């Protein structure tokens, strides 16, 4: 028996699932998001032929020892909207403030290095845009020690990103010369697709990282992109994650936020240096939290 086409979600069911999503991801779903949560989880209910959201919640809590369905739920509720060179001014600023000075310093180093993190990389357009920016602006890229960490909590998006395969429509806004230089044309069943060239794919390492859990590294980055991700967190989670980002930046490193995000409420942690571009201020203590304001 198939579940009804429309399954109502009770207050108790919404509260249970909302709290579980928050505990696992830091995503804060207030009551206006009830319809969104319901619509995104309906496919999972149909998958198991459940007739109530309480059955699905019980499955997550008591019948999912490996956490496979929990990850499927996380994949279902996360938002994935991205494109190549989205908010293009950030990539120009990266080239101006990080890559141009790096080129000059490279003359003094045997193997110059750069570390960049795309946090919340979705299907990969952002980290590959970073890779294209590096390839366009760094002299003798092959001589560099470059690593781009691209992370997301959505495993389905990470698998898509790893392939580096996109529709021709996805790159239609890029100059034809850039598409020719950085992408391979698909053939056969992939005739309407392109693939990021191996040189750029090899610069990027994809990993599942939950921003509200311990991070599996102690690296310092020249630049961190985390755009339109923490807007889904509540105030406390935002503050904790942003403090950790600040600690992960090199002294002249840059943090890029989304177009709808502002870090002015953390002005003792971040100094604005461009449009939604920030530099971490030197650490000092104790912090004054009396004037904290959410994004």
Write out the catalytic residue numbers.
40, 152
What are the DSSP calls for 23-92, one per residue? HHH-B---GGGHHHHHHHHHHHHHHHT-SSHHHHHHHHHHS-TT-HHHHHHHHHHS-----TTSSTHHHH
Percent helix, percent strand, percent coil in the chain, to nearest 5: 45, 20, 35
- Return the H-helix or E-strand segment holding 182: helix 176-182
**Going along the chain, which residue ranges are E strands?**
113-119, 145-152, 165-167, 183-185, 193-196, 204-208, 221-225, 249-256, 270-274, 277-280
Cα–Cα distance, 99 to 91 (Å, whole number): 10
User: ∠ CA 120-123-127 to the nearest 5 degrees?
Assistant: 65
A 10 A CB-CB count for 21 gives: 22
Residue with token string 């909590």: 153
With beta carbons less than 8 A apart as the criterion, state whether 250 and 222 touch: yes
| Token pair 């960490």 in the structure block, residue | 149
CA 272 to chain centre: 21
Check if the beta carbon of residue 90 is closer than 8 Å to that of residue 256: yes
């Amino acid at each position: 028996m198939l579940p009804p086409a429309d399954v109502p979600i009770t207050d108790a069911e919404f509260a249970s699932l909302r709290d579980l999503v928050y505990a696992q991801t830091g995503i804060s779903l207030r009551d206006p998001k009830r319809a969104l949560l319901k619509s995104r989880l309906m496919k999972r209910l149909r998958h198991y032929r459940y007739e109530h959201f309480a059955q699905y919640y019980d499955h997550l809590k008591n019948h999912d020892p490996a956490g496979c369905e929990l990850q499927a739920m996380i994949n279902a509720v996360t938002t994935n909207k991205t494109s190549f060179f989205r908010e293009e001014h950030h990539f120009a600023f990266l080239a101006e403030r990080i890559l141009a000075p790096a080129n000059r310093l490279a003359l003094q180093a045997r193997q110059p290095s750069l570390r960049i993190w795309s946090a919340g990389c979705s299907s990969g357009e952002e980290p590959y845009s970073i890779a294209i920016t590096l390839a366009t602006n760094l002299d003798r890229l092959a001589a560099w020690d470059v690593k781009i960490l691209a992370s997301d909590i959505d495993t389905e998006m990470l698998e898509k990103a790893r392939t580096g395969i996109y529709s021709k429509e996805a790159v239609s806004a890029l100059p034809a010369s850039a598409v020719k230089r950085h992408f391979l044309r698909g053939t056969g069943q992939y005739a309407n697709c392109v693939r990021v060239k191996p040189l750029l794919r090899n610069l990027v390492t994809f990993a599942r990282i939950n921003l509200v859990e311990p991070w599996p590294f102690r690296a310092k980055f020249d630049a961190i992109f985390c755009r339109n991700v923490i807007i889904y967190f509540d105030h406390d989670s935002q503050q904790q994650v942003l403090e950790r980002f600040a600690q992960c930046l090199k002294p002249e490193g840059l943090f890029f936020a989304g177009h709808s995000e502002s870090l002015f409420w953390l002005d003792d942690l971040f100094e604005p240096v461009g449009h939604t571009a920030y530099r971490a201020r030197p650490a000092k203590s104790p912090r004054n939290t009396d004037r904290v304001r959410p994004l």
